[in-house]
């Protein structure tokens, strides 16, 4: 359905909305009146009608608890390479969900993304999906050499594993959004079972600096997360995103998910794992706000062969 088919949306308005990034009826359905008001210059009453109409077309149908249970039966888990971390997550990272890894520089976010890009290719009985990976690299930290080491560590053929990881460099936040918008074809064609977005937030932080930009940044980021959520629902795949946060002295006594250094972090991940360095080169992962798992911590290590206990 085109934007023009919504009541009260003419060609000019549709064009304005598209330019502002609202390309689909779905994006209008999840938008707020406030954000559309600025772009379109329309009154609140009209906008309310447009948003309502967009929502009605979405066939947001209700599901019974049984149906949700049925859908979750197709949910699979990917091992992280460490038994402790897997236990923390109830078996590994889930398909149909977004898992966010957050922590300071060097805490192991990128290493875990590499490990998952390898592990998704494992046979199911070894904790994989026998599917391939899409790696969205925003910081130029994807390293094929690490993949080779980790593949060997899993007794997999390194050349095959490397060939089965598709890398997309994202050069700015709009480019990053575009990649996920266009990913559906590739996902089907390449049988993608994992999307890693490393890092989710770095471009958004540098593209939207300053106080006035905070709301814009959050809107774009929310929409990007929404796109990712849709991909993992439709294709029954796992999404892992990374988010770098700064450590602060009072961190461990307060709420680690609270806004840090003015960086508003409020996305819609299903699982959030806070990573930190510990004694003797060890790392600690802490599960935060899970809908169905207890909070807890797991100690793991990073070695040449990858993520291990
Ligand atoms: P970030 O959270 O910033 O993405 P990384 O995932 O890049 O952090 O973690 C970097 C850390 O990973 C290094 O400090 C090191 O401890 C570990 N690491 C990276 N490569 C290797 C390797 N080949 N062998 C052992 N440890 C490694
Ligand atoms: Mg990194």
Residue 247's pLDDT is 64
- Ligand 1 midpoint to CA 302 (Å): 7
pLDDT confidence band for 20 (50 / 70 / 90):
confident
Nearest to 48 by CA among 56, 16, 60, 227: 56
Same domain, 267 and 138: yes
Same domain, 131 and 256: yes
Domain contains 31: yes
Total tally of structural domains belonging to the chain: 2
**Mean of per-residue pLDDT scores for the chain:** 89
Q: Does ligand 1 lie within 6 Å of residue 285's CB atom?
A: no
- Ligand 2 midpoint to CA 127 (Å): 24
pLDDT confidence band for 256 (50 / 70 / 90):
low
Q: Does ligand 1 lie within 6 Å of residue 303's CB atom?
A: yes
Asked if pLDDT for residue 199 goes beyond 90, the answer is yes
Same domain, 110 and 7: no
Domain contains 64: no
Out of 29, 57, 85, pick the residue that ends a domain. 57
Domain contains 62: no
Alpha carbon separation from 126 to 67, 76, 121, 150 (Å, rounded): 28, 12, 10, 15
Q: Does ligand 1 lie within 6 Å of residue 302's CB atom?
A: yes
Which segment of 11-15, 185-189, 192-196, 207-211 scores lowest on mean pLDDT? 207-211
Encode pLDDT of 52-65 as tens digits.
888 888 765 678 89
Put simply, whether the predicted model's pTM sits higher than 0.85 gets the answer: no
> Of 24-33, 83-92, 218-227, 244-253, which has the strongest mean pLDDT?
83-92
Domain contains 238: yes
Domain contains 216: yes
Print the domain residue range for 32: 3-57
Q: Does ligand 1 lie within 6 Å of residue 136's CB atom?
A: no
Same domain, 38 and 94: no
Q: Does ligand 1 lie within 6 Å of residue 115's CB atom?
A: no
Q: Does ligand 1 lie within 6 Å of residue 106's CB atom?
A: yes
92-95's contacts with Cβ under 8 Å and 24+ in sequence apart are 92/127, 93/238, 93/240, 93/271, 94/238, 94/270, 94/271, 95/129, 95/193, 95/232, 95/236, 95/237, 95/238
What number of residues does the chain have?
309
Q: Please check whether residue 81 is in contact with residue 115, taking contact to mean a CB–CB distance below 8 angstroms.
A: yes
CATH number, domain with residue 38: 1.10.150.20
Kindly give the number of the ligand 1 atom that is closest to the alpha carbon of 108. 6
Higher pLDDT among residues 123 and 205, named by residue = 123
Give the number of the ligand closest to the Cα of residue 103.
1
Q: Please check whether residue 249 is in contact with residue 256, taking contact to mean a CB–CB distance below 8 angstroms.
A: no
Same domain, 40 and 163: no
């Amino acid at each position: 359905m085109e934007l023009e088919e919504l009541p009260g949306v003419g060609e000019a308005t549709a064009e304005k909305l598209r330019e502002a990034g609202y390309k689909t009826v779905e994006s209008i359905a999840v938008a707020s009146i406030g954000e559309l008001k600025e772009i379109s210059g329309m009154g609140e009453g009209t906008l309310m009608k447009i948003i309502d109409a967009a929502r009605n077309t979405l066939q947001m149908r209700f599901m019974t608890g049984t149906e949700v249970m049925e859908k979750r039966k197709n949910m699979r888990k990917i091992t992280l390479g460490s038994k402790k971390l897997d236990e923390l997550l109830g078996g590994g990272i889930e398909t149909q969900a977004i898992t966010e890894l957050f922590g300071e520089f060097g805490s192991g976010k990128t290493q875990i993304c590499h490990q998952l890009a390898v592990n998704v290719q494992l046979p199911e009985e070894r904790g994989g999906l026998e599917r391939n990976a899409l790696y969205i690299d925003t910081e130029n930290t994807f390293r094929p050499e690490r993949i080779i080491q980790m593949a060997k560590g899993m007794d997999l053929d390194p050349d095959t594993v490397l060939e089965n990881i598709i890398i997309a460099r994202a050069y700015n936040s709009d480019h990053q959004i575009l990649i996920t918008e266009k990913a559906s074809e590739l996902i089907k064609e390449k049988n993608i079972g994992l999307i890693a977005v490393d890092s989710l937030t770095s471009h958004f932080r540098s593209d939207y600096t300053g106080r006035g930009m905070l709301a814009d940044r959050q809107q774009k980021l929310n929409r990007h997360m929404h796109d990712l959520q849709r991909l993992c629902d439709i294709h029954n795949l796992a999404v892992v995103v990374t988010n770098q946060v700064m450590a602060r002295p009072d961190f461990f006594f307060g709420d680690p998910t609270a806004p840090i250094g003015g960086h508003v972090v409020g996305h819609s991940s299903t699982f959030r794992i806070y990573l930190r360095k510990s004694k003797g080169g060890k790392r600690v992962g802490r599960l935060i706000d899970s809908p169905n798992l207890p909070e807890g911590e797991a100690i793991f290590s990073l070695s040449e062969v990858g993520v291990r206990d």
